[in-house]
Chains A and B, each alone.
Chain A
């Protein structure tokens, strides 16, 4: 018989840890080597025990489980982490996988999902609780419609002053008026303007106005036509 896989359970809820332990104890493949109630405790025990698997909660009293996962994996790269959380929102799922976890199960599905998940991740596979498929699929389906995202990233590259000037330009102010309003020279305004146009890949005032309207910097009559 192959040796049992060592598991560290991280959850601040003692009763819940017990329940999980009871579930795992029934299996012959897994052996719970220890439990931790905080992120700090989890990191200490992981360092000492070097578990092959970690069952990790997200909401911990001292830090979030995703950050703890990141840290544990930094010194135990071979260890596999399964997130077992109350959260069902896509952002948590995405962030957990980005942190290096390879499985995600919501707590109420633990009875059916936990063992399946541990089986999958210990084989090096990814595992996602089936009750979460719809949440993930929804997000996957909507992504392509957000094609404005690229340009919005460019907007984030503007300096505060450029943001300020972009809005004033879009509102129809001349560089001279803007210069007076902001107590800078018209030349400086022109420089900012050039920088804005280049960063946002805009080539005319009309494009600039259209862009500002799309972002919501200025008002446009949305419901006309």
Chain B
């Protein structure tokens, strides 16, 4: 490819030898990187024409077997794209016009300056040809990118009809035949909301995440698709200037298919939900075993110990003492096991409700850590919360308070739990040292603060929102809002809207 760009392949069809040599010398002098092929007749040239790829053809008008015009006609029929220069002995306007109509590149008369003119013309052609090659190469490269891009790309005219679309775009929408897309107008697509369309009319760029309903396309017959159901797409539509000679403006449409990614995310989401649920179940099981089996057996042991000497009239003093010691050890083990059980799973969540359970937890936490905690709740006794939400609210308080204890160096914390239809609000606030929220989000703080991250995960699993406000030295506030599932909302029937 590159060699061809350097060496110019010139075919000269000229039956007069003297003339030929003059032409050859003139070209060689001016363009050293040319290679010149001589042909005595049109027939001789046409034999070689197919197998040799010439860059320029220079032909005399008057050839032994035909005229240059006839040769041009033959070449045109062969679909020739190689530039042809026609040379004639005497100027004839009729011939010139014919030649020009047949697409000849240039038409030269053998005048005095012919031998200076011809190399200049050839040079010019060669320059343009190089330019064209590099343009074509660049176009090829862009076409490769265009065709192989995983992002769907479409060019639409200003009226919303497609000019060109790539494979990815067709694949995303399940279109087999680009012809059938030709008639479908971007603005007729019912999946693109009117708000986007009106922005486009105002020449604004639009970027949106859409749930794109292909059934809607089928029912409106906008185009034929072999896909069904819904796809999740990211779409960017941009008004652009000149596209080509025919279109002075139009739209560039970029589409990314997020269906799989979204599905994967949902799977991860579901998996972590299952993990959290499994963890919760396991904790419940261990907690129950500790409390109802181990602590109970230990209690038995303690009772046995305490009654050991009842039937034994006069035990030795030291045995009595040792039994008492053992009883005390047993009691402290029982207390420890019970605490472990309560730590794993709040006692009485099912029986006494979330408010009472969190309140009890705050009390115990306060006693253990010297952190003063104000707890209040409102409206939560009247609603039925799903067990899932209940235990996670409890865990959020647990994680929140433990974060405060570990990182905040605070003296005072506030926990507020309020049912506020359609959400339940949980606030966890402290007056501790705070931190830079932006830096934390950017991962710039030294502490990992996994606590906050796992709280965020928990909140997102409940489809809730969590907002953290904090400033160094000014405490931290966490606001969590979790949506209540409407049908489970006990007071729903009492709503008085008309």
Name A residues whose Cβ lies closer than 8 Å to a Cβ of B.
Answer: 13, 15-16, 19, 22-23, 26, 59, 64, 66, 86-92, 95, 107-108, 110-112, 138, 142, 148, 152, 155-156, 158-161, 163-164, 166-167, 184, 188, 192, 214-217, 219, 222-223
Cα separation A130 to B173 with both chains bound (whole Å): 75
From B416, which residue of chain A is reached at the shortest CB distance? A216
Contact with A along B158-199 (1 / 0, CB 8 A): 000000000000000000000000000000000000000000
B360-A91 in contact (CB<8A)? yes
In the complex, what residue of chain B is closest to A64 when comparing beta carbons?
A: B351
**A223 close to B474 (CB less than 8 A):** yes
Q: Let me know if B379 and A107 touch, CB within 8 A.
A: no
**Which of B51-59, B137-145, B425-433 lines the interface with chain A?**
B425-433
Q: Which residues of A contact B382 (CB under 8 A)?
A: 156
Interface of A is mostly: helix
> Is B338 within 8 A of A164, CB to CB?
no
Contact B351 A155 (CB under 8 A): no
Residues of A within 8 A of B288 (CB): 59
Within B316-348, the residues touching A (CB, 8 Å) are 330-331, 334, 338, 342, 347-348
Q: For A164, what are the chain B residues with a Cβ–Cβ distance below 8 Å?
A: 420-422
Q: Is the CB of A161 within 8 A of B496?
A: yes
A-B contact sample (14 more), CB < 8 A, given A87-B348, A107-B296, A108-B334: A13-B292, A19-B300, A23-B307, A86-B338, A91-B348, A91-B357, A108-B298, A108-B303, A111-B303, A160-B489, A160-B491, A163-B420, A164-B422, A188-B497
Q: What would 21 A/B residue contacts be, using CB atoms closer than 8 Å? A: A16-B296, A26-B310, A86-B295, A89-B347, A91-B356, A91-B360, A92-B347, A107-B296, A108-B295, A155-B379, A156-B382, A158-B379, A159-B491, A160-B489, A160-B495, A192-B496, A215-B376, A219-B427, A219-B479, A222-B414, A222-B475
B209 contacts the other chain (Cβ, under 8 Å)?
Answer: no
Q: Does B315 contact A (CB under 8 A)?
A: no
In whole angstroms, what is the CA distance A4 to B304 when docked? 24
Name the distance in Å between B358's Cβ and chain A's nearest Cβ: 12
| Inter-chain contact A222/B431, CB cutoff 8 Å | yes
Bound together, the chains give a CA A95 to CA B420 distance in angstroms of 28
Say yes or no for B482: interface residue by CB 8 A criterion. Answer: no
Residues of B within 8 A of A86 (CB): 291-292, 295-296, 299, 338
Cβ contact within 8 Å between A111 and B496? no
Of A90, A155, A161, A217, the contact of B495 (CB 8 Å cutoff):
A161
Tell me which residues across on chain B come within 8 A of A216, comparing CB atoms.
376, 378, 416-418, 425, 427
Give the CA-CA distance A206 to B304 in the complex, in Å: 64
Whole-angstrom distance from the CB of A95 to the nearest CB of chain B? 7
A19 touching B379 by the CB < 8 A rule?
A: no
Distance of A215 from chain B, by nearest CB (Å) = 5
Among B331, B360, B377, B497, contact of A161 (Cβ-Cβ < 8 Å)? B497
Residue B201 interfacial (CB < 8 Å): no
Q: Which residues of A contact B414 (CB under 8 A)?
A: 222
| Chain A proximity of B360: nearest CB distance (Å) | 6
Of B300, B347, B494, which is within 8 A of A16 by CB?
B300
Nearest CB of chain B from residue A143's CB, rounded to whole Å: 12
Residue pair A159, B351 in contact (C-beta under 8 Å):
no
Asked whether any CB of chain A lies closer than 8 Å to the CB of B381, the reply is yes
Cα–Cα distance between A188 and B342 once the two chains are bound (Å): 47
Query: Which B422-445 residues sit within 8 Å CB-CB of chain A?
Result: 422, 425, 427, 429, 431
- Chain B residue nearest in CB terms to A145: B374
CB–CB A23/B303 < 8 A:
yes
The docked-state distance in angstroms from the alpha carbon of A138 to that of B362 is 13
How many angstroms from the CA of A91 to the CA of B299 in the assembled complex?
A: 21
CB-defined contacts of B496 to chain A, threshold 8 Å: 159, 161, 192
A217 contacts which chain B residues (CB < 8 A)? 418, 420, 425
CA distance A164 to B495 in the complex (A): 11
Q: How far is the CA of A161 from the CA of B489 in the complex (A)?
A: 12
Return chain B residues, CB-CB under 8 Å to A108.
295, 298-299, 302-303, 330-331, 334
**B303 surroundings in chain A (CB, below 8 A):** 19, 23, 107-108, 110-111
The interface bits of chain B over 450-472 (1 if a CB of A lies within 8 angstroms of the residue's CB, else 0) are 00000000000000000000000
CB of B492 within 8 A of chain A?
Answer: yes
B377/A88 in contact, CB under 8 A: no
Contacts of A87 in B (CB 8 A): 347-348
| Among all A-B residue pairs, the 10 with the closest Cβ atoms | A216-B416, A160-B421, A111-B306, A107-B299, A108-B299, A163-B421, A155-B378, A152-B378, A91-B352, A111-B303
- Interface status of B29 (Cβ within 8 A of chain A): no
Q: Which of B306, B431, B497 contacts A112 (CB 8 A)?
A: B306
Residues of B within 8 A of A214 (CB): 376
Q: Is B498 an interface residue (CB 8 A)?
A: yes
Q: Is there a chain A Cβ closer than 8 Å to B477's Cβ?
A: yes
Are A152's CB and B377's CB within 8 A?
yes
User: Which residues of the other chain, A, contact B363 by a CB distance below 8 angstroms?
Assistant: 138, 142
Establish whether residues B495 and A19, one from each chain, have CB atoms under 8 Å apart when the complex forms.
Answer: no
Q: Does B354 contact A (CB under 8 A)?
A: no
Q: Could you tell me the distance between the alpha carbons of A174 and B381 in the complex, rounded to whole angstroms?
A: 29
Contact with B360, one of A90, A163, A166 (Cβ below 8 angstroms): A90
Nearest-Cβ distance from residue A163 to partner chain B, whole angstroms: 4
Per-position 1/0 for B281-308, Cβ under 8 A of A: 0000000100110011111101110110
Q: Does B393 contact A (CB under 8 A)?
A: no
Distance of A108 Cα from B335 Cα, bound (Å): 10
Complex interface: chain A residues within 8 A of B492 (CB): 160
Question: Nearest-CB distance from B357 to chain A (Å)?
Answer: 8
Which among B310, B360, B475, B497 has the greatest number of chain A C-beta atoms within 10 A? Answer: B497
CB of B419 closer than 8 Å to a CB of A: yes
A111 to B304, CA, bound (A): 8
Q: Among B288, B303, B357, B377, find the residue whose CB has the most chain A CB atoms closer than 10 A.
A: B303
Residue of chain B at shortest CB distance from A182: B497
How far is A88 from B68 in the complex, measured between Cα atoms in Å? 114
When distances are taken between beta carbons in the complex, the residues of chain A under 8 Å from B489 are 160
Nearest chain B CB to A77 CB, angstrom units: 24
Instruction: Assess A222 versus B296: contact at CB under 8 Å? Given A156-B379, A160-B489.
Output: no
Nearest-neighbor residue (CB-CB) of A84 within chain B: B299
